[in-house]
């Protein structure tokens, strides 16, 4: 299995956005030291839920501070980017990181971002397939041109050129179908459980390369971990989720934050080290997905988040890898089983 961290650059009350971004880079360096395979960075605009407006830029900074860990965007919002410009940036990062970078893209939502960046609601509603195909052309050919509804330009040479296969965030049946038609792996969010993830993998038709996001927090006991996240996460999620502003007259999304945190702590690796390892292995067994990325920022304090990353790396990852090498989750209880990493 591959285990990574998923970083939203979450801004809790009282925190300064620039400090949160600097702390996020430090968390990626800590994840490398702790043995994680990769670090995935989210992109958000105009809100405290996540204060990183350019995941690819933050990944570039992290590439210069690390040497081994893989880096990815989870995701760059394709509805507010020009696909060719995004492909150029991804190609640069591919070369400058020594091939450690993976581009993750998503459709995004009907938010005010579309108005601010001038891409418009129509491109969000009808243009994702065209945008994705143009991105794939730019990442697989040395020259690219467009004659579509949203993009029309003469043939140009891609400089620098890079052959890359993006990952696509999927939250609905149409995006699952788009990913499947193009042979692209899916990134599945932490808001759904194993059953829905398994259903989406089945609809896609291939189990290869998909990524599952989950909340990850390890404490001395499962009761302690659940209690602490239930206390801390609503402070961030309440104002953070309220920052989603529709671009048109549709109602703003609403969510029962308490119920949401209760769901996250029940279905994800939140608990003792043994509980966390079992939850990761259970997701792999239930879904066929062998790449899990853990959202580690739920405590809202940088020092404690660093400790969480280190404990996950030192206590949980060896158990998961030991079980994987032994070919059975039962290997968790065998001290003689080999440990990797």
Average of per-residue pLDDT values in the chain: 95
Say what the pTM is.
0.95
What would the mean pLDDT of 292-315 be, rounded to a whole number? 98
Question: Is the confidence at residue 327, as pLDDT, over 80?
Answer: no
pLDDT confidence of residue 206? 86
Q: What is the pLDDT of residue 339?
A: 30
pLDDT (0 to 100) of residue 324:
77
pLDDT of 335 > 80? The answer is no
Average pLDDT value for residue range 195-215: 95
Where helices occur in 205-247 by DSSP H, the ranges are: 222-241
Determine the Cα–Cα distance for residues 25 and 124; give it in Å rounded to an integer: 30
- Tell me what the mean pLDDT of segment 77-105 comes to: 98
Determine what percent of the chain is predicted with pLDDT higher than 90.
Answer: 93
Q: Confidence band (pLDDT; 50, 70, 90) for 328?
A: low
For residue 252, is pLDDT > 70?
A: yes
Q: Please give the pLDDT value at position 260.
A: 98
3-state class (DSSP) for residue 173:
helix
Asked if residues 100 and 91 have their Cβ atoms less than 8 Å apart, the reply is no
Q: Assign 303 to helix, strand or coil.
A: helix
How far is the C-alpha of 277 from the C-alpha of 250, rounded, in Å?
41
216 to each of 184, 241, 261, 294, how far by Cα in Å? 26, 20, 13, 5
Q: What is the pLDDT of residues 157-192, one digit of tens each?
A: 999 999 999 999 999 999 999 999 999 999 999 999
Q: pLDDT category, 311, cuts 50, 70, 90?
A: very high
Two tokens at 339?
């440990």
| Alpha-carbon gap, residue 319 to 141, rounded angstroms | 42
Are 10 and 236 in contact by the 8 Å Cβ rule? The answer is yes
> Which two tokens mark 334?
């065998």
* High-pLDDT (> 70) share of the chain, %: 95
Q: Residues 123-129: what's their mean pLDDT?
A: 98
**Helix, strand, or coil here: 200?**
helix
- Please report the pLDDT score of residue 338 as a whole number: 32
């Amino acid at each position: 299995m591959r285990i990574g961290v998923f970083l939203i650059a979450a801004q809790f009350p009282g925190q300064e956005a620039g400090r949160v971004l600097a702390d996020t880079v430090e968390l990626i360096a800590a994840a490398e030291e702790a043995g994680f395979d990769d670090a995935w960075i989210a992109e958000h605009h105009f809100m405290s839920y996540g204060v990183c407006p350019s995941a690819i830029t933050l990944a570039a900074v992290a590439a210069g501070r690390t040497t081994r860990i893989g880096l990815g965007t989870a995701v760059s919002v394709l509805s507010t980017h020009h696909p060719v410009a995004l492909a150029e940036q991804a190609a640069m990062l591919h070369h400058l990181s020594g091939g450690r970078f993976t581009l993750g893209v998503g459709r995004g939502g009907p938010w005010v971002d579309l108005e601010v960046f001038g891409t418009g609601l129509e491109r969000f509603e009808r243009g994702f397939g065209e945008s994705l195909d143009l991105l794939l052309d730019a990442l697989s050919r040395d020259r690219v041109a467009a004659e579509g509804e949203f993009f029309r330009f003469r043939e140009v040479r891609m400089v620098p050129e890079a052959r890359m296969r993006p990952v696509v965030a999927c939250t609905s049946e149409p995006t699952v179908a788009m990913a499947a038609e193009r042979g692209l792996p899916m990134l599945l969010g932490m808001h759904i459980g194993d059953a829905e993830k398994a259903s989406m993998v089945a609809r896609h038709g291939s189990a290869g390369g998909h990524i599952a996001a989950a909340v990850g927090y390890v404490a001395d006991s499962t009761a302690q971990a659940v209690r602490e996240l239930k206390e801390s996460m609503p402070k961030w999620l309440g104002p953070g989720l309220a920052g989603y502003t529709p671009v048109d007259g549709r109602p703003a999304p609403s969510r029962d934050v308490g119920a949401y945190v209760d769901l996250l702590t029940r279905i994800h690796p939140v608990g003792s080290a043994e509980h966390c390892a079992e939850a990761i292995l259970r997701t792999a067994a239930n879904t066929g997905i062998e790449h899990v990325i853990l959202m580690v920022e739920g405590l809202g304090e940088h020092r404690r988040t660093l400790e969480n990353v280190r404990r996950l790396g030192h206590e949980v990852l060896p158990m998961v890898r030991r079980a994987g090498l032994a070919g059975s989750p039962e290997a968790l209880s065998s001290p003689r089983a080999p440990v990797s990493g």
